Chains A and B, each alone.
Chain A
Amino acid sequence: MTSWLLQTAALPEAASPIVGRVMLAYALVVLIVGILASRVTRSASDFFVAGKSLGLMTTGLAAMAATLSGFAFIGGPGLVYTLGLGAVFIVLPVALTNTMTAWVLARRLRRLADIREMITIPDAIAARYQSRAAQGLAAVAILVAVLGYAATNFLALGLVLDAVFGIGRTTAIWGGALLVVGYTVTGGILAGVWNDVVQGVLMAVASALVFWYALDVTAAAGGLVPLLLAHAPEMLAATGRSTPLAALSFYFVFGLGTLGQPHVVHKFFMLRDDTKLQWFPVILSFAMMLSLLLFVGVGLAMRALVASGAADAPTTPDAVTPLFLLRFTPPVLAALVFAGTAAAIMSTVNAFLNIGAAACTRDLPRALGHPIRNELRAGRVWTLVLALLATAIADRSGLLVSFLGIFGWGLFASTLVPSLAIGLNWAGATRAGAIASIASGLLCTMVLETLAFTRTFQFPSGVTATACALVVSLLVFFVVSWWTRSTAAATLAPDVRAILED
């Protein structure tokens, strides 16, 4: 299902002096932030969880920036252009998930980090179930997902840079990767988080301005709603051109799956003080709603403009946003959105590389009983290794990058939602239930996504491999935990139990 999350096609050429200058200025900001962050990164805790030093606003903007990849600006509006309001069901769960993550995970993860030495999500799973096997399995799932996700994001970054600078795809991919790796290796997650703040503000402001232009341009042509009702009324049906089951599936997967995205939820380890969480959902929701205006507005506006003959039809859905920006908005705003898109991709890659490096540096060695002594140095080395691997995949193999990319969201969701999100809120969950659930999520996602990717098996409309794997891992978690319920108490350390229940 997540294949359409990937941006693999070239974008329309956007080479202009203003766009180029804004992008270069942004790259300079990113590098300066990386250098500044490297000066205060002195331990593995600094490198992986920013020394647990973040305030509320920073955590909120960083969580938003990590959640929204380039898909929010490029792929998403293209999908709205294609499916109408059906595609909005991907972002609709945001209405719930911002508060849900705060209630379900934020305080418990932060308090776990206080009582145990904890810097990764598999660390939290190990503490919850007192199980190195569960930690190791979760780390394997994260590593597989990270590699595919990072490769697709490097490719997407290369496509954006190529569209702006016209330097060729290979140069653009390696150039973009060099920039991301530079600040990730030196400044760790702190560099990423500081850049996330810049990026979050940039995304919210640019998105709101583009939305205003979308309404303004369509108003001059007859009005967004009247144009759509006259030329493409099905776009404004409740589930657009999607089947109802497909739209509800979007809501289910992206609603529940959010709780299992480690690059987002591990930001809660970084909070300085969990009592300040009170306004976290308000800040996150406000920033998200602003940033998603572009997602909803541009796709519908372009459909209305194309249907009424005021704009040419885009050659691919991914071209919807670039075409709208270049044709209907001032060059400075177009430049800001291109910079915002590149920034969104970079922040997502930074977060992925960081959690991938943590899995290699900390979770897998600990699961195997051989912890690494200098985790900061190992973390930097593994960040570099993973980045090189992901960039090489992005550059060399079109088919492989598409194949690996489909595992990202689904693997995170099916392996981590039951064991982490439910497990941290239910004392009856058992170690066996968690291990069985993570293993079944891993297996189901890989098998079902492969069957769907190779077209060996055709799912009915609305049913997806990701959703099936998520349902299976949830059911396995409940059934095995019930079956082994007599072991539940032994699975739970008293200090962890106190956090679960209060």
Chain B
Amino acid sequence: MATRPRDVARWAVVLGTVGVALAYGAAFAPPRVARGGEILMALSTPTLLVGVLGLGALDARAMRGRPRRVLPWAFVALVLWLALGFALAVASGAPRATDARIAGLPWAAALVLYGLGAVPAVLLPLLYAWAHTTTDGSEDGAGAS
């Protein structure tokens, strides 16, 4: 049976795809509309990608164990984190020498390299490893393979 969170993930994929299509369509329009397309792209891309992630992760097996309380909210947080990061990246301009520094980088560069790169690169694999461990123990017992 399809799980409810998986249905939500599928709708996120569909809506994200439509959003990306509209964002590309806006690029053919006058500059003011095109700017709106950039923001739409910043919101749609993480919705689509994390939706696909959820489609794979939120299967019936995961929904039987502890991950069912954690994974859906972790993915919602990831969408929000990435969307906010992309929106800030779109809105920011060229850095100045007086800009605040984060771990040695101007904030906009730190946002990209640390916020959109390093943070999910470290946390997501650990989330996967945790979900793999805590999934109801039926992995072998289910005898699917």
List chain A positions with a Cβ less than 8 A from chain B: 85, 88-89, 92-96, 98-100, 102-105, 108, 110-111, 114-115, 225-226, 229-230, 233-234, 236-239, 243-245, 247-249, 251-252, 255-256, 259, 274-275, 277-279, 281-282, 284-285, 289, 296, 421-422, 425-428, 460-463, 467-468, 471, 474-475, 478, 498-499, 501-502
List B9-30 residues whose CB lies under 8 Å from chain A.
Answer: 10, 13-14, 17-18, 20-21, 23-24, 27-28
Q: Could you list 28 A-B pairs, sorted by A, with CB under 8 Å?
A: A89-B112, A95-B116, A95-B119, A95-B120, A96-B49, A104-B57, A105-B56, A229-B106, A237-B108, A238-B92, A239-B89, A244-B41, A244-B89, A245-B37, A247-B89, A248-B45, A252-B45, A256-B48, A275-B139, A278-B128, A278-B133, A282-B126, A285-B121, A421-B52, A428-B2, A460-B28, A467-B24, A501-B60
Report the minimum CB–CB distance from B70 to chain A (whole Å). 14
Q: Is the CB of A233 within 8 A of B94?
A: yes
Distance between Cα atoms of A259 and B95 in the complex (Å): 34
Distance between Cα atoms of A371 and B97 in the complex (Å): 66
Which residues of A are found within 8 Å of B57, using beta-carbon distances? Answer: 103-104
Which residues of A are found within 8 Å of B6, using beta-carbon distances? Answer: 425
Q: Is the CB of B116 within 8 A of A92?
A: yes
Q: Is the CB of A100 within 8 A of B89?
A: no
Distance between Cα atoms of A249 and B90 in the complex (Å): 12
Q: Which has the most chain B C-beta neighbours within 10 Å: A98, A102, A245, A499?
A: A245
Q: Tell me the count of chain B residues lying within 8 A, CB to CB, of chain A.
A: 70
Report the minimum CB–CB distance from B85 to chain A (whole Å). 9
Known contacts: A239-B90, A274-B145. The answer to whether A255 contacts B95 by CB under 8 A is: no
Q: Is the CB of A461 within 8 A of B27?
A: yes
Q: Is the CB of B112 within 8 A of A88?
A: yes
Distance between Cα atoms of A88 and B118 in the complex (Å): 12
Which residues of A are found within 8 Å of B53, using beta-carbon distances? Answer: 96, 99-100, 103-104
Which residues of A are found within 8 Å of B86, using beta-carbon distances? Answer: 248, 251
Report the minimum CB–CB distance from A304 to chain B (whole Å). 13
Report the minimum CB–CB distance from A230 to chain B (whole Å). 7
Residue of B nearest to A223 (CB): B104
Report the minimum CB–CB distance from B10 to chain A (whole Å). 6
Distance between Cα atoms of A282 and B130 in the complex (Å): 11
Q: Is the CB of B28 within 8 A of A85?
A: no
Which residues of B are found within 8 Å of A104, using beta-carbon distances? Answer: 52-53, 55-57
Q: Which has the most chain A C-beta neighbours within 10 Å: B56, B57, B120?
A: B56
Distance between Cα atoms of A462 and B23 in the complex (Å): 10
Q: Is the CB of B45 within 8 A of A425?
A: no
Distance between Cα atoms of A365 and B111 in the complex (Å): 50
B96 close to chain A: CB less than 8 A? yes
Which residues of A are found within 8 Å of B8, using beta-carbon distances? Answer: none
Q: Is the CB of B52 within 8 A of A501?
A: no
List B99-145 residues whose CB lies under 8 Å from chain A.
Answer: 101, 104-106, 108-109, 111-113, 116-122, 124-129, 132-133, 139-140, 142, 144-145
